[in-house]
Amino acid sequence: MSAAIPAGLTQQSEVSADLRVECGVVIVGSGAGGATMAAELADAGVDVVVVEEGGYHPTESFTAEAGRALRTLYRDGGIGLALGNPPVLFSEGRCVGGSTVVNGGMSWRTPGRVLRRWAEEGVAAISERDMEPHFAKVESRISVAHQDPETIGKDMRLLKAGATAKNWKIIPNLRNQLHCAGTNNCTNGCPTGAKRSMLVTNVPRALSRGARVFADCRVERITRSKGTITGIEGRFVRPGGRRGPRLTVRARVVVAAGGAVQTPALLARSGLRSGSGLLGRNLTLHPNAKVIAFFDEEVTGWHGVHQAYQVREFIDDGILLTAVNLSPSLVALGLPSHGRELGQVMGEYNHMVTAGCLVEDRGSGRVRNIPGLGPQVFYQLTDQDAERVVRGIALTAELMFAAGARRILLPFDGAPEVRDPARLADLLARPVPKKSIELFTVHLMGTARMSEDPRRGVVDSFGAFHGAPGLFVADASLFPTPIGINPMETIMALVVRNAENLIEQRGRYRI
């Protein structure tokens, strides 16, 4: 990897002493929310500083090594755990570009029914008509489109064949990609730059307009003086996690965009409180569960795009189905077998399709700062959501059998493999204990929810923190409810809208 470091981007290795910086707006985080806010404000001529905890890893550095990606691009090696029954594994990106560097690249508008629900929750100017120009701008910026057909692999064709056989609605994914090559490496960082993550779109755009980005710097707190927001204080992080020099940024506006776990944690450890009592609460996370289906024919699921289709037949019930190829190491990590048996299962890696469901959850959780441990996530799956996860798994397995699978591994601890739909129905006719379900997610939302009413929301309709002028939130924390689909475009469109609102108030904030 020998790519040049972009002008305006500073890494820890370049900083040898404490730094003090002044600007109009300092943004914490460089993912879908932070980078979009930076680009929009910099476009308008605002002096912007972005502080990102993770490192700068250019496209040229991305490989197919999942271990390397987990070590460099993800928080905690990709192993976050929401405590509850059952626990939910989760992953967050931590690098310049945030989770957009490692997500699957699905880009969908917020469903109209969700926007209507948000309006009922007290969010202003959130109708489909209000949001249309913001969605359009985002889609243009990150090249949202369907895949070129030559990039669609066999696992996706099997998913489609299964859905067609069942007469279920299946649609081609809209993805943020500029002629994606179909490398199937989305979650390790796109090695071609075709996935239009923030790393290759809004971060360079913001830099080109004078924004400054500080990577490898953990923001410790938001600073205030006499109730007025004055900036942030952070520390550069040296290799091995050693504490480096301080970074102090003086700014009239602070935008927290660290995601639904880190943002409420930062606000809380900065002494900020919400009158609603909802800061860090209202966490939803779209619980996912997967099956592994084995086919007689070779599938070679790593040939072709990460996700080309979604099954939307059950979307009104809050259940979305799809297939996602995982690297052998990630497949092995989740298998119950070991030793020789593990070798036999993995010997069929090229005959596998990993498919699963996402559930629009109705339960909720919270984020708390635990002394000595930092932010900790707690989440309780409701009985109703557990039933829907089990139903989603049953539907996914049915679909895989319809596509020709000869046996299927289920994500329930101790469940035997199933070899036909009748056995599947028999198995799932009995209650599945909640604690036996293996859940995973990459969609965490809702911990600083919007509402015009300070009793019902942490921030107002445009992300301004109730009771702390000059402080804004710009990430999935804003969502009053889960959205049932991939959240990236919703985050970006909300932030474009909120940035426009902030720019209109430049005089008020003197930025």
Q: Known catalytic residues?
A: 443
Q: How far is the CB of 236 from another protein (least distance, A)?
A: 7
Single residue of 4, 7, 17, 370 touching another protein by CB under 8 A: 370
Across-strand partners of 407? 294
Concatenated DSSP letters for 239-275? Answer: GGG-EEEEEEEE-SEEEE-SHHHHHHHHHHHTT---T
Number of Cβ within 10 Å of residue 342's Cβ equals 13
* Total chain residues near another protein (CB under 8 A): 106
Q: How far is the CB of 192 from another protein (least distance, A)?
A: 5
Single residue of 65, 317, 387, 500 touching another protein by CB under 8 A: 65
Single residue of 116, 146, 455, 508 touching another protein by CB under 8 A: 146
Minimum CB distance to another protein smaller for 184 or for 284 = 184
Q: Please report whether residue 179 would count as binding another protein according to CB under 8 A.
A: yes
Backbone phi, psi, residue 169, to 5°: -70, 125
CB neighbour list of residue 156: distance below 8 Å, 6 or more residues apart: 304, 305, 307, 308, 309, 323
Q: Build a one-symbol-per-residue string for 301-340: x at contacts with another protein by CB under 8 A, - elsewhere.
A: -xx------x-x--x-----------xxxxxxxxxx-xxx
| CA atoms of 116 and 131, how far apart (whole Å) | 12
Minimum CB distance to another protein smaller for 227 or for 241 = 241
| CA atoms of 156 and 104, how far apart (whole Å) | 14
Q: Please report whether residue 121 would count as binding another protein according to CB under 8 A.
A: no
Minimum CB distance to another protein smaller for 375 or for 457 = 375
Q: Please report whether residue 112 would count as binding another protein according to CB under 8 A.
A: yes
| CA atoms of 400 and 415, how far apart (whole Å) | 17
Backbone phi, psi, residue 460, to 5°: -85, -170
Residue with tokens 């002028």: 469
Q: Give the residue among 334, 358, 399 at the shortest CA–CA distance from 164.
A: 399
Q: How far is the CB of 77 from another protein (least distance, A)?
A: 4
| CA atoms of 109 and 102, how far apart (whole Å) | 20
Q: Please report whether residue 262 would count as binding another protein according to CB under 8 A.
A: no
**Binding to another protein in span 16-45, by CB under 8 A:** none
Q: How far is the CB of 72 from another protein (least distance, A)?
A: 5
Q: Give the residue among 53, 78, 56, 43 at the shortest CA–CA distance from 326.
A: 78
Q: Which stretch binds another protein (CB under 8 A): 140-148, 158-166, 457-465, 467-475?
A: 140-148
**Binding to another protein in span 265-304, by CB under 8 A:** 269, 300, 302-303
**Binding to another protein in span 422-461, by CB under 8 A:** none
Q: Please report whether residue 107 would count as binding another protein according to CB under 8 A.
A: yes
Q: Please report whether residue 416 would count as binding another protein according to CB under 8 A.
A: no
